[in-house]
Amino acid sequence: MEFPVTAPWADDSYRECGGSASKPAARRVFCWPGAGWERALFWSYLWIAVGSAIGGVLRFVCSGLIAERIGETFPWGTLVVNVSGSLVIGFFFTLSEPDGRLLVGTTARQFVMIGICGGFTTFSSFSLQTLNLVRDGDWLRASANIVASVVLCLVAVWLGHIAAAAINR
């Protein structure tokens, strides 16, 4: 999707929103002209919050529907949400890279990747970071990230369970 040259952000506003001449304002969808860095930061936080709310509601609905239809003997809802969130963040990340086909700004990427995907599942961020380590050829760190994330998250959930069980007594 290309933006018209007459779009309200297609002027020198990129300078105020962290852009440069090589990355014009047309790539910065949610950063409005005339906004100082404080205003741009405020809008970034606001869009991330909106995206997180959308992602959280989507997670609740999807997990609930899957659990209702398949059952809760295995966490299929969570698995489907985590895998689909990873698919979405990987797809959008690649599509909206500087060489990608979709021209979106930093705030729009934050809205989708941190907001929606982060609210939908934090597993998508883990997956993307691990993929980037693999793409960089850093197999040791990618493997360490996988093992540490799984083990530490399981230990943390177990410790949380133990702490809550102690409080419940």
CB–CB of 51/111 below 8 Å? yes
* Domain chopping of the chain, boundaries: 12-137, 140-169
Q: What is the pLDDT of residue 88?
A: 92
For residues 33-40, give the mean pLDDT: 70
Which tens digits make up the pLDDT trace of 85-119?
999 998 999 888 888 888 888 999 999 999 999 99
Residue 114 dihedral angles phi and psi, to the nearest 5°: -85, -45
What single-letter amino acid sits at 8? P
Residue with the bigger pLDDT between 126 and 8: it is 126
- Cα distance between residue 129 and residue 78, in whole Å: 20
Which tens digits make up the pLDDT trace of 106-162?
999 999 999 999 999 878 878 888 999 999 999 999 999 999 989 998 988 888 888
For residues 47-51, give the mean pLDDT: 97
Is the pLDDT score of 60 beyond 90? yes
Residue with the bigger pLDDT between 102 and 53: it is 53
Question: What percentage of the chain has pLDDT greater than the value 70?
Answer: 79
- Cα distance between residue 139 and residue 142, in whole Å: 5
Q: How confident is the model at residue 34 (pLDDT cuts 50, 70, 90)?
A: low
- CA torsion through residues 113, 118, 119, 123, sign: positive
